[in-house]
Amino acid sequence: MSAVDRVVEPVKAEAVLFDKRDSGVAVLTLNRPERMNAWGGGLAGAFYRCIDRAEADPDVRVIVLTGAGRAFCAGADMGDLDTISGAGVASGGDTDVTQLVGERHPYFITRLHTPVIAAINGACAGIGLTQALMCDIRFAAAGAKFTTAFARRGLIAEYGISWILPRIVGWSAAMDLLLSGRTFYAEEAKELGLVTDVVAPDELLPRALAYAEDMARNCAPSSLSVIKRQLYDDAVRNVHDTSAAAEKLMHESMQRPDFIEGITAFFEKRPPTFPPLQEETS
233: CATH: 1.10.12
The pLDDT assigned to 79 comes to: 66
Same domain, 208 and 225: no
Same domain, 202 and 240: no
Same domain, 227 and 110: no
Same domain, 117 and 255: no
Q: Is residue 87 part of a domain?
A: no
Would you say residue 196 has pLDDT above 90? yes
Same domain, 39 and 130: yes
Would you say residue 4 has pLDDT above 50? no
Residue span of the structural domain in which 120 resides: 16-78+100-216
Q: Are 113 and 277 in contact (CB under 8 A)?
A: yes
Higher pLDDT, 248 or 83: 248
Among the residue ranges 2-6, 47-51, 143-147, 239-243, the one predicted with the least confidence is: 2-6
Q: Where are the alpha helices (DSSP H) in the chain?
A: 41-56, 78-91, 98-101, 127-134, 161-169, 171-180, 186-192, 204-218, 221-234, 239-253, 257-268
Among the residue ranges 88-97, 198-207, 231-240, the one predicted with the least confidence is: 88-97
Total structural domains in the chain?
Answer: 2
The pLDDT assigned to 96 comes to: 56
Question: Cβ of 91: how many Cβ atoms within 10 Å?
Answer: 10
Q: Is residue 85 part of a domain?
A: no
Same domain, 207 and 247: no
Q: Are 178 and 150 in contact (CB under 8 A)?
A: yes
**What average pLDDT does the segment 212-219 reach?**
96
The pLDDT assigned to 181 comes to: 93
Q: Please, what sign has the CA dihedral across residues 30, 212, 132, 114?
A: positive
Across the chain, what does the average pLDDT equal?
85
Would you say residue 134 has pLDDT above 70? yes
Same domain, 26 and 131: yes
Same domain, 200 and 228: no
Same domain, 212 and 247: no
pLDDT band, residue 256 (cuts 50/70/90):
confident
Higher pLDDT, 175 or 82: 175
Q: Is residue 6 part of a domain?
A: no
Query: For residues 57 and 261, what is the distance between their CA atoms, to the nearest angstrom?
Result: 22
Orientation angle between helical segments 161-169 and 171-180, nearest 10 degrees: 130
Give 91-127 pLDDT, tens digit per residue.
Answer: 455 555 566 667 788 899 999 999 999 999 999 999 9
- For the chain, give the percent of residues with pLDDT over 90: 59
Q: Is residue 245 part of a domain?
A: yes
Same domain, 46 and 120: yes
Question: Which of 136, 74, 129, 128 minimizes the C-alpha distance to 109?
Answer: 136
Q: What is the CATH number of the domain that holds 186?
A: 3.90.226.10
The pLDDT assigned to 84 comes to: 47
The pLDDT assigned to 156 comes to: 83
Same domain, 204 and 235: no
Same domain, 105 and 179: yes
Q: Is residue 55 part of a domain?
A: yes
